[in-house]
């Protein structure tokens, strides 16, 4: 388990650096009124790798299922950065058709992340916990869908070019797939919960987990 922790931590760091340096090299930049294929590949590749790894490796699956769902859910707090989308729309940097639903959807998930982590992440409330995770996935899917189709819906509107340049390019190429993976893991965990049969260590405070 410890080896998987170091390995996945290293992979996430390398993934972030890849997204950062490729963005700095303008490899994702697209001035057309849409998000380009390079961004789509960068966002989809981690999801595919995770899905294949999770399906094919029993040991990796056990590792992910043992992660603390409260930590994974609390990490969604960073979705509050979605407040920047409506602000950028007001300055005509992003199209309203993307900025408003994506921004307010992210803000809702970010604002309720700690509540979901500490009130819903228990076997007795697993249906509510799963529902919240599905709402988070719906928000991500909606944002990606609107981001890729904004140019088709409003060809003469503000382009999505800002989302293909730093710092915003890190959202579709790193944060969106990472948060999506966290949601999927939490749902998989919750589906396996049964009252009295869940590992106490899985729900322990992070400092308590280290002590264990």
- Per-residue pLDDT of 111-123, as tens digits, reads 999 999 999 999 9
| Contacting residues for 77 by C-beta, under 8 A, at least 6 apart | 110, 113, 114
Q: What is the mean pLDDT of the chain?
A: 90
At residue 72, the pLDDT reads: 98
Task: For the chain, give the percent of residues with pLDDT over 90.
Answer: 78
pTM above 0.85, yes or no: yes
Query: Which residues constitute the domain of residue 73?
Result: 2-211
Both tokens assigned to 55: 């399906």
- Per-residue pLDDT of 10-66, as tens digits, reads 999 999 999 999 999 999 998 765 567 888 899 999 999 999 999 999 999 999 999
- Per-residue pLDDT of 145-168, as tens digits, reads 999 888 888 888 899 999 999 999
How many domains, in total, are found in the chain? Answer: 1
């Amino acid at each position: 388990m410890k080896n998987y922790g170091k390995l996945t931590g290293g992979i996430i760091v390398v993934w972030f650096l890849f997204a950062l340096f490729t963005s700095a090299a303008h490899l994702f930049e697209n001035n057309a009124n849409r998000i380009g294929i390079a961004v789509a590949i960068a966002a989809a590749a981690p999801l595919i790798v995770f899905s294949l790894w999770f399906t094919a490796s029993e040991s990796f699956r056990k590792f992910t299922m043992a992660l603390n769902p409260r930590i994974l859910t609390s990490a969604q707090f960073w979705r509050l950065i979605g407040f920047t989308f409506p602000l950028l729309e007001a300055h005509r940097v992003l199209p309203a058709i993307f900025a408003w639903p994506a921004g307010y959807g992210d803000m809702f998930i970010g604002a309720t992340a700690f509540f979901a982590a500490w009130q819903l992440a228990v076997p007795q409330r697993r249906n509510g916990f799963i529902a919240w995770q599905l709402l988070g996935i719906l928000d991500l899917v909606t944002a990606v869908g609107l981001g890729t189709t904004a140019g088709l819906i409003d060809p003469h509107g503000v382009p999505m070019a800002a989302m293909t340049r730093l710092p915003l390019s890190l959202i579709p190429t790193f944060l969106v797939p990472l948060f999506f993976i966290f949601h999927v893991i939490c749902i998989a965990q919750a589906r396996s919960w049964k009252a009295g049969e869940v590992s106490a260590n899985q729900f322990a405070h992070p400092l308590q987990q280290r002590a264990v």
